[in-house]
Amino acid sequence: MSDQIKFIVDNLNKEPFRKNYNLITFDSLEPMQLLQVLNDVLAEIDPKQVVDIREEMPEQTTKRMLSLLGILKYKPPGNATDMSTFRQGLVIGSKPVIYPVLHWLLQRTNELKKRAYLARFLIKLEVPSEFLQDETVADTNKQYEELMEAFKTLHKECEQLKTSGFSTAEIRRDISAMEEEKDQLIKRVERLKKRVETVQNHQRMLKIARQLRVEKEREEFLAQQKQEQKNQLFHAVQRLQRVQNQLKSMRHAAADAKPESLMKRLEEEIKFNSYMVTEKFPKELESKKKELHFLQKVVSEPAMGHSDLLELESKINEINTQINQLIEKKMMRNEPIEGKLSLYRQQASIISRKKEAKAEELQEAKEKLANLEREVSVKTNQTREFDGTEVLKGDEFKRYVSKLRSKSTVFKKKHQIIAEFKAEFGLLQRTEELLKQRHENIQHQLQTIEEKKGISGYSYTQEELERVSALKTEVDEMKGRTLDDMSEMVKKLNSLVSEKKSALAPVIKELRQLRQKCQEVRGLREECLQEESRYHYTNCMIKNLEIQLRRATDEMKAYVSSDQQEKRKAIREQYTKNIAEQENLGKKLREKQKAVRESHGPNMKQAKMWRDFEQLMECKKQCFLKQQSQTPMGQVIQEGGEDRLVL
């Protein structure tokens, strides 16, 4: 404890605290003073904690400190009962509680500053799932998550740049090289302008090229906007399908679900989820952390050559030989207790592996089921688009199959009866043909006999008379039966209509009342949906305003803060600094412009004199060439180291 207090006092006497404590004065501090010291240390880590605790309620102070310590991931020693003791000690300013916290904070101040800064932007605001059903809230939450991910990426890049070791000399060299490239590009542009000026209608061509570039940019923008709208439409369709599937599954589960089956299903899901959360996911997370630590360690180490790799391979071989020797020694001992324990360990490892494999199979089955459900929903939508009918599922499909089976059995029976009738019809048709042939033979014989007797046509006339009398009797009977049947049918229909009217009267009355209630319920439901959407929208607007107010409060605190470093982070200070830099830059540019204006006249005069000089020299050159072309030249002869001109 004395070493702890000494460490705390030494750090409090340094920058930026400057408390000028010694062991005696620090140990004699009152609880309120000790809490103020703790608050000052927390304010150094997070500037938002700059508060005089005498002007704050103890509950608020405790809540604020506990929330910040939770963000900083401080773990008090002990179990849950010690946690309640820790809270009480923090409220009353107990030394056994405050001293470990101060020691922990002062040991890692820089690391905790960074953690507090990141927590301001990376602690996710949890939005209830019922609020996310609103499209505006869902889009805002999605943008919020995207901005958080962008902040993570930018922060990582910033940290990598800080640790990359770039020097200012290299940056200055790069800047100078880019400035030279800029000057070269400007000169090239000037040359191209001069070359274009000689072309006819160059202004019109430049205007057309500019319009072409603008239209291409607009085309790219419209294509990008079209793609974004397609993506939004695709996401909206997917969201609609997902919600429709959820609604169907919930209706199906509510229609034919029993409490026992629901409880059993929930218990199975809870067991599976608890296993995944408590056993599988922590193991995977630990393995990923180890892998990440190993990769970070590999990245941080310098590049290895072939000799280093050979050395590592030799070390690995030595360690493997040592492991084999230890295994052989253990096998030579052959202790029965160790053998039993190893057996139990093997069985436990086998069971755990089987459990993990089954969990993975279950997870894969769930994913496969989800994919199949999505495919079924897609196929259902396609079928609905084709013929406008719903695809049967579950019990409806089973009922349809059973009905189809019963119809198929009836169809088979009817088909068999039709086959029997067809066979009997064939027999009867054959019998009819035989009887017709016999009748024709008999008629032919009868006609020959009648011709012999001199009374031809007698049998035909007799048959016609008998047939007409039979038809008359049948018609009379049919008329009587028809009249009786019609009167009896009218009586039955009248009685059925009266029975149906009497049976449907209370139903119609109840249906009218239900229609009125249905209209009221529909109106109330629409009103409820409107009020609910208005409530969600109001809550979102309130949260947005709270966030803006919090930002404005942070900006005001940073602006009025006495800490110059924190004050520099204020947006107003940054804008003031940018304005001053731009004013200085404008001043320098105006001075440069003034110098250019002053030297413009002499420079132009000197350029004109140089052009005149060039013209004069060109004129002299032309005169000289002309004179040489008119006057014949002689021949130069060298003799004895002397040159002679012979004309």
pLDDT digit string, tens, across residues 189-233:
888 878 777 777 777 887 888 888 899 898 999 999 999 898 888
Closest CA to 40 of 17, 7, 66, 68: 17
Check residue 610 and give its pLDDT. 92
Band the pLDDT of 1: cuts 50, 70, 90.
Answer: low
Closest CA to 69 of 83, 51, 55, 56: 83
pTM of the model: 0.30
Q: What angle do helix axes 58-71 and 80-92 make, rounded to 10 degrees?
A: 130
Q: Quick check: 643 pLDDT over 60?
A: no
Check residue 141 and give its pLDDT. 83
131-143 mean pLDDT:
81
Closest CA to 35 of 120, 99, 104: 99
d(CA 524, CA 247): 21
32-48 mean pLDDT:
85
Cα distances (angstroms) measured from residue 199 to each of 186, 194, 458: 21, 10, 125
Q: Quick check: 479 pLDDT over 80?
A: no
- Rg (Cα) of the chain, in Å, rounded? 52
Q: Quick check: 341 pLDDT over 70?
A: no
**Number of CB atoms found within 10 A of residue 348's CB:** 10
- 72 three-state secondary structure: coil
d(CA 378, CA 242): 11
511-531 mean pLDDT:
85
d(CA 103, CA 87): 18
Tokens (6 digits) for 159: 């940290």
Q: Number of C-alpha atoms within 13 angstroms, CB side, residue 131?
A: 17
d(CA 227, CA 320): 58
Note the Cα 283 to chain centre separation in Å. Answer: 26
Query: Tokens 């070493």 sit at which residue?
Result: 3
Q: Looking at this protein, which amino acid is placed at residue 252?
A: H
Residue pair 17/29 in contact by the 8 Å Cβ criterion: no
Residue pair 97/2 in contact by the 8 Å Cβ criterion: no
Residue pair 492/484 in contact by the 8 Å Cβ criterion: no
Closest CA to 78 of 66, 68, 87: 87
The chain-wide mean pLDDT, for the chain, equals: 79
Q: Quick check: 38 pLDDT over 70?
A: yes
> Which residues are CB-contacts of 389 (< 8 A; sequence separation ≥ 6)?
383
d(CA 208, CA 199): 15
> Which residues are CB-contacts of 141 (< 8 A; sequence separation ≥ 6)?
127, 132
502-506 mean pLDDT:
81
Residue pair 298/312 in contact by the 8 Å Cβ criterion: no
Least confident interval from 130-139, 405-414, 546-555, 560-569: 560-569
- Range with top average pLDDT, 97-111, 153-167, 288-302, 487-501: 97-111
d(CA 266, CA 278): 18
Band the pLDDT of 240: cuts 50, 70, 90.
Answer: confident
Check residue 617 and give its pLDDT. 92
d(CA 116, CA 45): 7
Tokens (6 digits) for 54: 């005498």
- 130 three-state secondary structure: coil
Q: Quick check: 441 pLDDT over 60?
A: yes
Percent of the chain residues past pLDDT 70, beyond the cut: 84
Band the pLDDT of 121: cuts 50, 70, 90.
Answer: confident
